[in-house]
Amino acid sequence: MELKTKVNAEEGKQDLVITREFELPLELLFKAYVEPEIIEQWMGTTVLHLDNKKHGSYLFETTDPKGNKYRFNGTIHEFIPDQTIIRTFEFENTQHGVQLEFLEFEKLTNHTSKLTIHSIYQSPEHRTQALKMPFAYGLSMAHDRLQTIVTNLK
């Protein structure tokens, strides 16, 4: 099945573009990026701080099944309701560096909308690192499962 979310990452570049069309009015899509309790639900994270305005900032914390905590933070450079968020993103205590994100929210019809995220990384290598994350996470989950199986065999 084809995914509704598209990722365009050209070879050798240090940026990528994520696009997605939603069966939601623009206002509801934007709201999902603004209300902390809604962000927590769909991102699966805890919002420790969120100040959605120019010169504002955010700090999120995610806990994995083992109880390890990961923090993400950034500074908000532009905040135009139902239209644009420009912000930085940093995954703390990693080698991923800081990325710059341009989020564009568009109305398609009264009931549909589109989100375009343009992310710029410090270098092509930093982009590769970030792209590898979900893949590596999947493998490490499998590895944990394997260890559980092996432990149960003993």
Partner 1 sequence: MNLRRDVFQAIADPTRRTILLLVASQSMTAGAIASNFDTARPTVSKHLQILTECELLTQEQQGREMYYHFNPKKMKEVADFIQPFQKMWDDRFNKLESIMKKHKK
Residues of this chain that interact with partner 1 (CB under 8 A) are 3-7, 9, 18, 20, 22-24, 28-29, 31-32, 38, 41-44, 115, 128, 130-135, 138-139, 141-143, 145-146, 149, 153
| Closest alpha carbon to 15 in 130, 125, 119 | 119
Least distance to partner 1 from the beta carbon of 142, Å?
A: 3
Of residues 7 and 54, the one with the C-beta less far from partner 1:
7
Of residues 10 and 92, the one with the C-beta less far from partner 1:
10
Sign of CA dihedral 142, 131, 76, 57: positive
Beta strands in 15-153 (DSSP E): 15-22, 46-50, 57-63, 69-80, 84-91, 98-107, 113-120
Least distance to partner 1 from the beta carbon of 115, Å?
A: 8
Of residues 68 and 152, the one with the C-beta less far from partner 1:
152
State how far the Cα of 58 lies from the Cα of 132, in Å rounded to an integer.
Answer: 24
Residue 131, helix vs strand vs coil:
helix
Of residues 28 and 48, the one with the C-beta less far from partner 1:
28
